[in-house]
Amino acid sequence: MKPRVLVAMSGGVDSSVAAAILREQGYDVVGVAMRLAPEPSAPAVSAPIAKRRGTCCSHDDFEDARRVAERMDFPFYVIDLRADFAARVVDNFVSEYLGGRTPNPCVMCNREIKFDRLWSRARALSADYVATGHYARIAQGADGRFHLLRAADDSKDQSYFLFTLGQDELARTIFPLGAMTKTEVRARARALGLATADKPESQEICFVPDGEYASFVERRSNPAQLRPGSIIDSDGKRLANHAGVHRFTVGQRRGLGIASGERLYVREIRAESGEVVTGRRDQLDSSGLIANRVSLVDDSLASVGELSVEVKIRYRHRAIPATIRVDSGHRAEIRFATSGPAVTPGQACVFYRGDEVLGGGFIERALEAV
């Protein structure tokens, strides 16, 4: 009997194929769908069906996953992680926005739910591995150390969201899709007759299916927590009022509600005073950043001192050359080789060397341009 692997299934094509591939390889596959977001409230149920699709955790999605499990003949269960998800992902998402930062809940969900909470469940179920439909690769070196690598399909690469995984996690994780392209995954799903073969991609954050982050944050916080204030220019001159810092993201241009001769961007968000500082495009440039809660895929790298790497400071950004220095308090100073683009506090800064993820952290603040 091959080892038991717990496969996290969303009902989408990627995790369906991941589970199917492992089953074909002879693993003792146990499929689980994680119930994460709260049930949609009553009005959402009567929304047009087209609007209800594509959000994670819906009844339809779980039924799709169940069909895949039946087709591929492995057991499937729905598990309820709503309380953990609310406490460790959603509350963090809200408090980050209230603090003037722009969180990445997918990174948090991987760190707190899929590779922590789900792993405990895997052990409870005697599973040796956890698998997901992420596009990323894991390789083991001759020295036995594990390496986290970009996916073969660069356009789908999700290694950015996985930087928090360390040696212990990588040793018991399988990413069956890491070497495949999305086209190959869909073709495989069709060849296997999986019901999910042609499902559309989910785009938005699963617990905010309408993409309206600001109103989500407002619903999940009390009015006293919101930080309304002024939009100011670089000289401190007030340009307009705003209803709360959670409505802004550093680097944002649209939706500032200001008529101005030149294009204005959000440069800085001062949550304490409620000030949103704007500036010209070139004023967004920075020389680097400070990251906190830094983790390294291989801890032995921390002793190296200064490292030359490439860093990705947003999922959709290209990695840029930089030097990093990680201190003992899980903080790092990152200096870009050339002055870099807008640094958005709250986002993940992930360290790469070529195709390999070395680690990463969460952006605390930008360093001034030199």
Partner 1 sequence: MLEAARAQVAAIVGTDPRRIVFTSGGTESNNLAIFGAITVSRRRKIISSEIEHSSILAPLAELERRGFEVVRIAPDSDGRVDPARVLDVLDSETALVTLGLANSEVGTIQDLAPLAARCTRIGALLHIDAAQAVGRIPVDVASLNCDLMTLSGHKLGAPAGIGALFVRDSARIAPTVFGGPHESGVRAGTPNLLGAVAFGAAAEAALNAMGTESERIASFAASLLMRLRDAIPGLRWNGPPVGRLPNTINLTFPGVLGESMLIALDLEGVEVSMGSACAAGAVEPSHVLRAMGRSVAEARSSLRISLGWSNMAEEIDAAASIIPAVWRRVADAEPQSEVSAR
Question: Considering only 71-79, 90-98, 248-256, 286-294, which stretch makes contact with partner 1 by CB under 8 A?
Answer: 71-79
- In the annotation, is 349 catalytic? no
Residues 166 and 146: their CA atoms lie apart, in Å, by 8
Q: How far is CA 254 from CA 210, 257, 258, 278, 291, in A?
A: 18, 8, 9, 12, 27
- Among 112, 120, 130, 128, smallest CA distance to 176 is for 130
Residues in the chain: 370
Question: Measured from the CB atom, is 80 or 299 closer to partner 1?
Answer: 80
- Which position among 80, 91, 210, 212 is part of the footprint of partner 1 (CB under 8 A)? 80
Question: Measured from the CB atom, is 97 or 207 closer to partner 1?
Answer: 207
Residue 78 CB neighbour total at 10 angstroms:
15
x/- map, 96-125, partner 1, by CB under 8 A: ------------------------xx-xxx
Question: Measured from the CB atom, is 53 or 281 closer to partner 1?
Answer: 53
β-sheet with 28-35: strand ranges across: 76-80, 28-35, 4-8, 129-131, 173-174
Residues 125-164 that bind partner 1 (CB under 8 A): 125-126
Residues 203 and 207: their CA atoms lie apart, in Å, by 11
- In the annotation, is 106 catalytic? no
Residue 177 CB neighbour total at 10 angstroms:
29
Residues 334 and 322: their CA atoms lie apart, in Å, by 7
Residues 6+ apart with CB under 8 A from 307: 301, 323, 324, 325, 326, 351, 358
Check binding of 70 to partner 1 (CB under 8 A).
no
Check binding of 35 to partner 1 (CB under 8 A).
yes
Question: Measured from the CB atom, is 35 or 53 closer to partner 1?
Answer: 35
Residues 295-354 that bind partner 1 (CB under 8 A): none
Question: Considering only 56-64, 97-105, 255-263, 348-356, which stretch makes contact with partner 1 by CB under 8 A?
Answer: 56-64
Question: Measured from the CB atom, is 84 or 333 closer to partner 1?
Answer: 84
User: Which amino acid makes up residue 219?
Assistant: R
Instruction: Give, as one character, the DSSP assignment of residue 47.
Output: S
Tokens 């040796």 belong to which residue? Answer: 128
Tokens 């509350």 belong to which residue? Answer: 91
Check binding of 51 to partner 1 (CB under 8 A).
no
Question: Considering only 72-80, 137-145, 191-199, 294-302, which stretch makes contact with partner 1 by CB under 8 A?
Answer: 72-80
Check binding of 77 to partner 1 (CB under 8 A).
yes
Question: Measured from the CB atom, is 119 or 161 closer to partner 1?
Answer: 119
With beta carbons less than 8 A apart as the criterion, state whether 365 and 290 touch.
yes
Question: Measured from the CB atom, is 30 or 324 closer to partner 1?
Answer: 30
Question: Considering only 57-65, 160-168, 218-226, 325-333, which stretch makes contact with partner 1 by CB under 8 A?
Answer: 57-65
Check binding of 66 to partner 1 (CB under 8 A).
yes
Min dist CB 123 to partner 1, Å, is 4
Question: Considering only 70-78, 145-153, 187-195, 280-288, which stretch makes contact with partner 1 by CB under 8 A?
Answer: 70-78
Instruction: Give, as one character, the DSSP assignment of residue 12.
Output: S
Size of the site for partner 1 (CB under 8 A): 21
Check binding of 58 to partner 1 (CB under 8 A).
yes
- Among 238, 236, 256, smallest CA distance to 247 is for 256
Check binding of 78 to partner 1 (CB under 8 A).
yes
Helix 59-72 to helix 13-24 angle, to the nearest 10 degrees? 20
Binding-site ranges for partner 1 (CB under 8 A): 30, 32-33, 35, 39, 57-59, 62, 66, 75, 77-80, 120-121, 123-126
User: What amino acid positions are annotated as catalytic residues?
Assistant: 109, 206
